[in-house]
Amino acid sequence: MQTPDPEAPASAPSVSSALALPHPQEELLACEELAQRTQDSGFRWMRFPQPLEQRFEGDSTRARVGRFRFYGVVAIILINLFGLGDLTMVPDVATTAILLRLTFLTPVITVISVLLARPWFSRNREWLAAFQILVTALTLNLVVVASHHPNALHYHIGVMVVSIFGVILVRQRFWFAMGTSALISLIYTLGLYQMPGLPPEVRSNAITVLVATVIICLIASYQIEHDLRRGYLQALLQRIKAIRLRDSHDALAQLSKSDPLTGLANRRQLLEHLELAWNIALRTASPISLLFMDVDHFKEYNDHWGHQAGDVCLAAVAELLSASAHRSADLCARYGGEEFVLLLPYTTIEGALPLAQRIRRLIESSAIPHGHSPVSAVVTISCGVACLTPTPDRTSADLIDLADRALYQAKRNGRNRVHAAI
């Protein structure tokens, strides 16, 4: 059936190209060179270059906030458990010591643990952890200074426990651990000098034990963070490598299913897509239409303009065809040579014919010079349209064959026209 063209040729509409969205892992891939260089050169000062440091802190936020909140609960339990010892160790200030633990330290740690769920507090978690550790050490030091009982001297053990807790369990970042440990040592040393009648040799021994503990803890802190950062770099580079491999695999898969000249699907992908759409349509009793198109007198175009210009022509035609496939289920493919196919699932012949005419006019109005076509001075196409509703006794190849025969008839009737198979 030859379909009339009720509209005059119109000028080609401009095709808006979609804005390219950044790959969700583009920023991660951009870190590859910096991460590799950092791993090779090392990080003796416990700091990565700034972009990598920001990613490291961002990636570890959730785990570290969870760690801080968990050990906040542990700290509350231990602080109040050790408060029982105040009754026998410093009976003269036991009430004050217990009140400090219950009404000051416990609420402070509880509030900070709750607030860590907030973005601002989670970003400043290292400062908050340092603050909690220092407040705990300062509270113990106040008990030492306030008490006149001989047992108060032994509170240096509690201060050491605070230092070990912050470095080993909470795992402060190395520089924060160094800062808080230095302040804890200073606070405790000043407190010892406030204790009247304390023999110098006893004071010196207490300070020596505390300093030795701090040094051991800082060495452990350095090693823990060094291993953590090295493991992070290794994991980061492994993630990037996995992404590269996956992208390479996807690219190879895409190449195997796309036409390198036009970027459209190739015949292999078309046949796979058609078979899938055919099976779905068979279950739902839905129609499938197929447009089979051929560039008119393309051999003469190549002979006159050359094969390189012919490739440019095919790419331009492909771009116009691709712009005409608006639905996600539609598929535009290069079938071979100058032949193109547009697959239209869920489309009747009444829906496919107007689209075929629009495509034909669109290519004609694009005014690509031909010069040696007996049909027109510009590049045109012939199009065969077929539509089938799949049944068990038919195959998807029947649809292609029907559209191919319709294309042959369109060319036989003079080209630059659409013919529908009945």
β 288-295/331-336 pair status: unpaired
Tell me the C-alpha distance between 249 and 133, whole Å. Answer: 50
Q: Which of 193, 191, 186, 195 is nearest to 163 (CA)?
A: 186
Tell me the C-alpha distance between 141 and 259, whole Å. Answer: 77
Q: Which of 359, 344, 342, 336 is nearest to 266 (CA)?
A: 336
**Site of tokens 């690219």:** 251
Tell me the C-alpha distance between 327 and 331, whole Å. Answer: 9
Tell me the C-alpha distance between 403 and 421, whole Å. Answer: 7
Give the long-range contacts of residues 242-245, CB within 8 A, separation 24 or more.
243/25, 243/28, 243/29, 244/29
Q: Which of 334, 323, 316, 320 is nearest to 270 (CA)?
A: 334
Tell me the C-alpha distance between 395 and 106, whole Å. Answer: 76
**Is there a catalytic annotation at residue 338?**
yes
Tell me the C-alpha distance between 162 and 181, whole Å. Answer: 9
Tell me the C-alpha distance between 65 and 238, whole Å. Answer: 25
Q: How many helices (H) and strands (E) does the chain have?
A: 16, 5
The one catalytic residue in 300, 338, 339, 350 is 338
Q: Return left, alpha or beta for 377; rule: phi > 0 is left, psi -120 to 50 is alpha, else beta.
A: alpha
Q: Which of 179, 163, 172, 153 is nearest to 214 (CA)?
A: 163
Render 252-298 in DSSP notation, one character per residue.
HHHHHHB-TTT-SB-HHHHHHHHHHHHHHHHHHT--EEEEEEEETTH
What SS3 class is residue 221?
A: helix
Sign of CA dihedral 51, 54, 56, 58: negative
What SS3 class is residue 333?
A: strand
Active site residues: 338
